[in-house]
Amino acid sequence: MTNITRLFDFPYYQLEKHNLSDALVTKYNNEWVKTSTKEYLEKANAISRGLLRLGVNKNDKIAIISSTNRTEWHITDIGILQTGAQTVPMYPTITSEDYEYILNHSESSYCFVSDQEVYDKLIAVKKNIPNLKEIFSYNSIKGCKNWQEILELGADESNQDVVEDRKNNVATTDLATIIYTSGTTGKPKGVMLTHQNIVSDVLMSAPRVPLRAGSTRALSFLPICHIFERMLTYLYQYYGISIYFAESIEKISDNLKEVHPHVMSVVPRLLEKVYDKIYAKGADLTGVKKKLFFWALELGMNYKPYKENGWFYEFQLKIARKLIFSKWQEALGGELELLVSGSAALQPRLTKVFTAAGIPVMEGYGLTETSPVISVNDMRNKGFRAGTVGKVLDGVEVKIAADGEILCKGPNVMIGYYKDEEQTNEAIKKGYFHTGDIGEFDNEGFLKITDRKKEMFKTSGGKYVAPQLLENTFKQSRFIEQVMVIGDGEKMPAAFIQPSFDFIKEWGLKHPEAKLGTTNEAIITNPTLIKRIQEEIEHYNERFGSWEKVKRFELTPDVWSIDGGHLTPTMKLKRKVIKEKYNDLYTKIYG
């Protein structure tokens, strides 16, 4: 049996143990196309042979930029790694200038792209990237070489012995990949992860995820260039789970109904959106149906695991699941058993309500630098608690520094930032990685994240404010889509708010007296709406100390997005950018 010590060992292990007919499944021209484990490895080996014939050496860097998760990505990933070269996965949504910076900084010699849009962005700066020898595309693009050319170049198996030799010379401690973190400030940093970093994290996470081997389907849609989704896809391969790749965020509800997945990963923003849609549908009901919906919702909000609420609650929950929550399940494909949430803090009410609905949400915690999982909730063995990120993985050590910062040590911690000794030495001290997050353990060993150290700020009165905590609370309002709390060095906290325009337009139809107007500009200046949002802010402010309360806010007309530059690719706020964009509103608030 294959002993897994390097990333490319996962598919070989799968071949021996599970040998799936649908290891990787992508939709082309409205049809789901299955790739078996055997074909996956045959193609990966062809890519390795082709790359060797192109002259790829050990430790060369090869970039992959794909707008969607797809079968080709994984074949390329394994094909590259087997040669002893390293992959540089990149976010498709970053700017051309960022493409240029990362490709030059990593000295990538080849680049695989998914589609025309990515290709055009890359071509715009190609002349400034001297090391880049060639671009290959997955889709057929005029004037661009196709990845099939490498497969054809590797069709002749006569140099497979060289591939085997290269594979045998890849050590577990060798560098596997450089992942450039988008970062909320400054130039991206190249996180260097070894085979051992990621393999250890997969194997330490495996006992925490209650997945069954064989006949289980995963839907993959979070960006594969991000270590969270990538690590999960290796975990799925280890478990013998078929991976279906979602077409896009827009088509995700169709894909859920077609694939009927048992497991998928989510970021909090997606769950918030799903919940808001369900809530809106419930609010439109009338009579008994509406009463039942809100009764079930209330029940869900008070959910506690392990029958802690007593038999009567469990009896009611059974009824709620049958009458109401079963429809939630249906909307998500009908067979979901597990959602894994990462990348940002999840509102505990969402964890509770989805888990009550029979769709358990297991929130975890980690960073790119820790490959990524440090801790994760697990329904079994009393390992689940809403509002926490679970217990630390066996094999990982976490301690809380005097200032509350979470420090981590383990085989999953990166070897450093590429070509940046200074930042590496700042991040890793005495063997501990400094996460930049503030947290604490409760009395039963569950880890709780309270804020980003870098994001906490002091008002001019010298009081500390944790913006994430406030933002997550305010986002519970259906009127508020996105919010950023400001006030560093100012006399009081305030906020920029992107209203939930879709919901507000519906609300406007029910309140014609508000005379909302149709454009976003008209909506954000409407006095009735401003007054209504003020009420929401006051309601949620109740939960905070006087120094933390948001005293003033301004509404923004545009929808905050990745493309607009407001959000990182994992939907975190780019605080510096947002503050600059709305400098006039900042001045309006603070003068």
Check whether 582 has a pLDDT greater than 80: yes
Question: DSSP of 120-183, one letter per residue?
Answer: HHHHTTGGG-TT--EEEESS--TTSEETHHHHHHT-SGGGHHHHHHHHHT--TTSEEEEEEE--
238 in helix, strand or coil?
A: helix
Q: How confident is the model at residue 182 (pLDDT cuts 50, 70, 90)?
A: low
- Chain-centre distance for alpha carbon 280: 25
The pLDDT score that the predictor gives to residue 458 is 82
Residues 6+ positions from 207 with CB-CB distance below 8 Å: 394
In this structure, is residue 468 part of a structural domain?
yes
Within 442-508, strands assigned E span: 447-452, 457-458, 464-465, 480-486, 494-499
We report the CATH number of the domain holding residue 160 as: 3.40.50.12780
In Å, what is the CA distance from 529 to each residue of 40, 503, 508, 513, 517?
A: 55, 12, 9, 11, 11
Tokens of 198: 């990621």
Query: 155, 170, 185: which is the final residue of a domain?
Result: 170
Query: 170, 193, 218: which is the final residue of a domain?
Result: 170
In this structure, is residue 344 part of a structural domain?
no
Distance CA 550, CA 470 (A): 8
> What's the domain count of the chain?
2
Q: How confident is the model at residue 186 (pLDDT cuts 50, 70, 90)?
A: low
In this structure, is residue 76 part of a structural domain?
yes
Q: How confident is the model at residue 345 (pLDDT cuts 50, 70, 90)?
A: confident
Q: Give the residue numbers spanning the domain of 529.
A: 457-590
pLDDT digits (tens, 9 = 90+) for 259-276: 999 999 998 878 888 898
The pLDDT score that the predictor gives to residue 416 is 97
In this structure, is residue 570 part of a structural domain?
yes
Query: 170, 189, 214: which is the final residue of a domain?
Result: 170
In this structure, is residue 310 part of a structural domain?
no
For the residues 102-108, what does the mean pLDDT come to?
A: 98
Check whether 233 has a pLDDT greater than 60: yes
pLDDT digits (tens, 9 = 90+) for 437-495: 999 999 999 999 988 777 888 888 888 888 988 998 999 999 999 999 999 889 899 99
Candidates 80, 62, 67; CA nearest to 26 is: 67
In this structure, is residue 529 part of a structural domain?
yes
Tokens of 27: 């939709």
In this structure, is residue 149 part of a structural domain?
yes
Tokens of 369: 């630098």
In this structure, is residue 528 part of a structural domain?
yes
The pLDDT score that the predictor gives to residue 78 is 98
Distance CA 429, CA 368 (A): 17
We report the CATH number of the domain holding residue 561 as: 3.30.300.30
What mean pLDDT value characterizes the chain? Answer: 94
Check whether 185 has a pLDDT greater than 70: no
The reported pTM is 0.89
Check whether 184 has a pLDDT greater than 60: no
Percent of the chain with pLDDT over 90: 81
Tokens of 152: 């054809």
Q: Where are the alpha helices (DSSP H) in 18-153?
A: 37-53, 71-82, 96-106, 116-123, 148-153
Check whether 42 has a pLDDT greater than 90: yes
Q: How confident is the model at residue 571 (pLDDT cuts 50, 70, 90)?
A: confident
